[in-house]
Structure 1
Amino acid sequence: MPSLSPVPELDNQLKRTTRITGALLVLVLLAIAANPGDSLAWGLFLGLATGLYNTVSLALRIKRLGSLDRSGARSYMRQGLIMRLVLVAAVVLLASRVANVNVYWLGAGLLAVPCITAVDAAVHAARLSRSEGGVFSRIEEKI
């Protein structure tokens, strides 16, 4: 089976997600520096860091899919899913044992990274559609 070249759009999406999440991590680190005992900031920091790691890990796995056969690709992605879920479970379990980490904000940080990716992809698709002279929705056709 021929090896497929990586999709450049995946790399661009990962760069944008990493840049936005990195900026949020810097802001949270500034909040931690200002008040080291803030459990909300620690939870958000751990959640964002774990979510970003999971996103990068998933993107690397997707890039490697082109060189695998169908059954190998299925087990490869299943293994990656299990590893990422175990990582999240371990981080949440350890954070729940530490008194200085808010687990709710850790969950918010974990969910923030996929939300950032989805919103960024939607905004990028809308910009791309408009730059090509098209309309993005039927509402715009009426305007």
Structure 2
Amino acid sequence: MPVKFGDILQAFEFADIDGGMGQCHTFICRQTGKIYYQFDQDDLQEFEDDELPDDIEDETKYLQIPNTRDLDLGKPLVIAFAREFLPNDLDDVRTIFSKRGAYQKFKALLSRRAAIDAWHDYRNKAKERALRDWCEIHSIGIID
């Protein structure tokens, strides 16, 4: 059953949450295309519309939707962006990402270089491409 790409994207965004709200795992039913949200914190269960199936861990029935790390959209994507759009800053970007607090420092660099919009566009296109590829690999039909 085809799934709206926007629904896959939303589930991906939730799967990337890891912080004050706790971690979220998202799953798609291979048969129906229904998406399930599993939050680590009990007080966030109110955001879930439906109960999770008892067999949500059964990989033959449900597929966990990836997050940024799973799709290699973290540091490797930043380095690729810098290589293409900020080649004179590539060494600095590598240094930034060898330490804690990298994204805050990277955003400051982007701001100084007036490249924030270019980064967001690059990241969004890469995320969409990676998610569409992931869907194709796992035989998930998507509609726009």
Using CA pairs below 8 Å that are at least 6 residues apart, which structure has the higher relative contact order? 1
TM interval, short-chain normalised: 0.3 to 0.5
Which protein is richer in strand relative to its size?
A: 2
TM-score (normalised: structure 2): 0.33
Q: Which has the higher helix share?
A: 1
Q: TM-score, normalised by structure 1?
A: 0.33
Bigger Cα Rg: 1
